[in-house]
Structure 1
Amino acid sequence: MTEVSALEIHLGSFSFEIQQSICVWLCLCVIFAVFFIYAGKKIDQADPSKASKGIVYICEEALNLVLFIVNTNLREKTKKYIPLFGTLILMMLVSNLIGLVGLQNPTSNVSFNATLAITMWLMIQGNAIRKGGLLARMKELTEPMVLLTPLNIIGELALPISLTMRLFGNILAGSIITMLVYTLIKAILPWGVLGFAFTPFLHMYFDIFSGVIQTYIFFTLASFFLGQQVAEEE
């Protein structure tokens, strides 16, 4: 029995594949949309004079997590960007952890990571242009001297590449190492059964610890560079 890694769709003579990682992300979009709608209704009905519980408490803790990541960088603009960053942080966190249930991590797909990183980069550049205009933005790239303009441009273009490859490399490496360990266990059965005593620690690092850290790093960097363009200087 072979593992299904892509969904094949045939329309007459035309056919195309949708990778499992993308299917997982689309399913997560639907699940989170339903969750946020339901949670929003519960929050509206909640009594602010009483202690939060249930889904309202979960949402409050999720908000505290998002604020912990972006508030220092976005400062007074945090409230404006909370819906965007909050949604993406929670969805990426679940995406990084979903390998624990045997599904392919969306973040192990380089095209997915590149799309998300380019979106963040375009938002940063768009706000930079909106702040002072296109000419002012171009002038920033020539500072502190014109000779450094090529390096400044490379530095700007390096951000989406860095965000993409850091996330992709860490998540994919964890998936590959885990797969190799399970392949080794299967190859040396029955003695390989002893290896299952170590697999929980393997998943604890590559699926949980690494997934959480990579989510934190991705959005800390994205909010930092965005904060430089939208937040007031202290």
Structure 2
Amino acid sequence: MEQQVSALEITFGSFHLEIQQSILVWLVLCVIFAVFFIWAGKKIDKADPSKASTGVVYVCEEILNLVLYVIKGNLREKTKRYLPFFGTLILMMLVSNLIGLVGLQNPTSNVSFNATLAVTIFFMIQINGIKRAGLKARIKSLSEPMAILLPMNIVGEIALPLSMTMRLFGNILAGCIITMLIYTLMKSVMPWGVLGFIFTPFLHAFLDIFTGVIQTYIFFTLGSFFLGQQVSEEEA
């Protein structure tokens, strides 16, 4: 029976390492985006600010507007400080969610990948909260409105990365599974299954494009919101 290769296996003697396709896709995307950002940065440096933006400079401006739309309302005056971090991850996650359209495994369909991103944002929230007000003040904030609620508030804080991880993982993986089942069904009822291609564009439009965009927006809206609570000044 033919099996689809879904992982890269590396063996040196007794050492065995298996790298899932989803992680390989993410690593390739990291290289591609690193090259793109360096190239785009040089183009932006050479651009004439007195003229209308074109080409890659215009694309980068639109990407910036997209990122600001997601995080600026939450981070407010601290937006510029965290813009590189959120901007890079928003763009890369968006592409990761959409890459299933070309037949590759979505990195975000891997729960360990999602957990890594969510835990990173969680520690960023906690560390910045402690740096801003001090450890004592952070513990005090978790004890409000009553000290007896401290354990429940701690559980609530820990639930954030868990909920972010499982929400993204569940939605992206479900889309992958449903798409796979539809194509398997089409293959099993050939030649009539070819009629399914009439509906598959709508299937991909919802499960890959719409769901991918929405889940990226939700993930980083939540992350920037809770980070903004720790680093932004209170609104007047």
TM-score w.r.t. length of structure 2: 0.98
Shift of residue 52 of structure 1? 0.3
Deviation at 1:12, TM superposition (A): 2.1
Identify the residue that residue 79 of structure 1 maps to in structure 2: 80
User: CA separation in 2, counterparts of 1:120 and 1:64?
Assistant: 22
What corresponds to 2:95 in structure 1?
Answer: 94
1:202 paired with 2:225, answer: no
Q: Using the alignment, how far apart are the partners of 1:124 and 1:14 within structure 2?
A: 37
Partner of 2:177: 176
Unpaired segments ≥5 residues, structure 1: none
Segments of structure 2 that go 5 or more residues without pairing to the other structure are none
Which structure 2 residues correspond to residues 150-189 of structure 1 after superposition, within 5 A?
150-189=151-190
Partner of 1:122 in structure 2?
Answer: 123
SS at match of 1:3: coil
Partners of 2:14 and 2:153 lie apart in 1 by 48
Number of residue pairs matched by the alignment: 234
The residue identity in structure 2 corresponding to 1:149 is L
Between the aligned partners of 2:80 and 2:137, the Cα distance in structure 1 is: 26
In the TM superposition, what whole-angstrom CA distance separates every residue of 1:176-213 from its partner, at most 9, and x where no partner exists? 00000001001111111111111110000000000000
Distance in 1 (alpha carbons) for counterparts of 2:74 and 2:173:
28
SS where residue 17 of structure 2 aligns? strand
Q: 2 CA distance for matches of 1:202 and 1:42?
A: 37
In structure 1, the residue matched to 2:61 is: 60
Task: Give me the whole-angstrom Cα distance separating, in 1, the residues matched to 2:146 and 2:71.
Answer: 31
Name the residue aligned to 2:21. 20
| CA distance in structure 2 between the partners assigned to 1:212 and 1:67 by the alignment | 15
In 2, Cα distance between equivalents of 1:56 and 1:121 = 33
2:144 & 2:14 partners in 1: Cα distance?
55
Residue 45 (structure 1) aligned with residue 46 (structure 2)? yes
Matches of 2:171 and 2:161 in 1, distance apart?
16
Which secondary structure does the structure 2 equivalent of 1:47 belong to?
A: coil
1:145 correspondence with 2:146: yes
What CA distance in whole angstroms lies between the structure 1 residues aligned with 2:14 and 2:113? 27
Post-superposition shift, 1:16?
1.3
- The runs of 4+ residues in structure 1 deviating greater than 3 Å are none
Which residue in 2 is equivalent to 1:229?
230
State the distance in 2 between where 1:220 and 1:15 align: 39
